[in-house]
Amino acid sequence: MITHEDAAANYAGVWGHRIGFGRAPALLVVDFVRAYTEHDSPLFASGVEPAVKATVPLLQAFRASGRPVIHTTVRHTPPAFADGGLWVRKAPVLRCFADARFGQVCEGVEPLEGEPVIVKQYASAFFGTSLAALLTASGIDTIVLTGCTTSGCIRASAVDGVQHGFRVIVPREAVGDRHPAPHEANLFDIDSKYGDVVSVASVLEELARCPGPLS
């Protein structure tokens, strides 16, 4: 069995370079809905509730500084869920979003009036949505990526984020999953290849150093 230390040594000097913040960050809050925090939901993920709480100070800081905050949610059309394509066939558990309660945003991270909410049908916040165009039109060069789950929508959005030309920053405490093993493995992979995995505290410090928001 390869340990985390073995993997880190193997990757050293090859992967894991820092990309850092640009001058215009936005906060992207991915799928913090009750499907992942309610114990009777088939999608319940024990690591998500702490991530919701860790995201609150980031929301406060971005809003106080006048920088963009963007949210995503999942919506498919029942009863056939045809707009979910093979994704829903592969993961039929996603049909649980037909229960309106599971699609409700978690307490404490609700969108404010005027904050865009991107509706998506697939894992990536970019796939089939207007997110990239919205970020580009707003002059954004960096996305601070929070939400769930680490091994699903966060990883997919991180990969697409860098492929669309955005710096990707993932605050470790502000993303969550249903099991620590895929959570840690995907944070390791994101940090190695697609973005920078850092602490919430370091994001707040960096945010304070960034230039003011673009007019």
Residues classed as catalytic: 153
Q: Helix (H, G, I), strand (E, B), or coil: what is residue 144?
A: strand
List all residues 6 or more positions away from 164 whose beta carbon is below 8 Å from its beta carbon.
Answer: 126, 132, 135
List the one residue out of 154, 166, 170 whose CA is nearest residue 202.
Answer: 170
* Distance from C-alpha of 25 to C-alpha of 21, rounded to nearest angstrom: 7
- Let me know: does 182 contact 66? Beta carbons within 8 Å: no
Whole-angstrom CA distances from 193 to 132, 168, 189 are: 20, 10, 6
What distance in Å separates the CA atoms of residue 27 and residue 59, rounded to the nearest whole number?
A: 8
At residue 67, what are phi and psi to the nearest 5 degrees? -90, 155
**E strand intervals along 36-124:** 69-74, 117-120
- What is residue 70's three-state secondary structure? strand
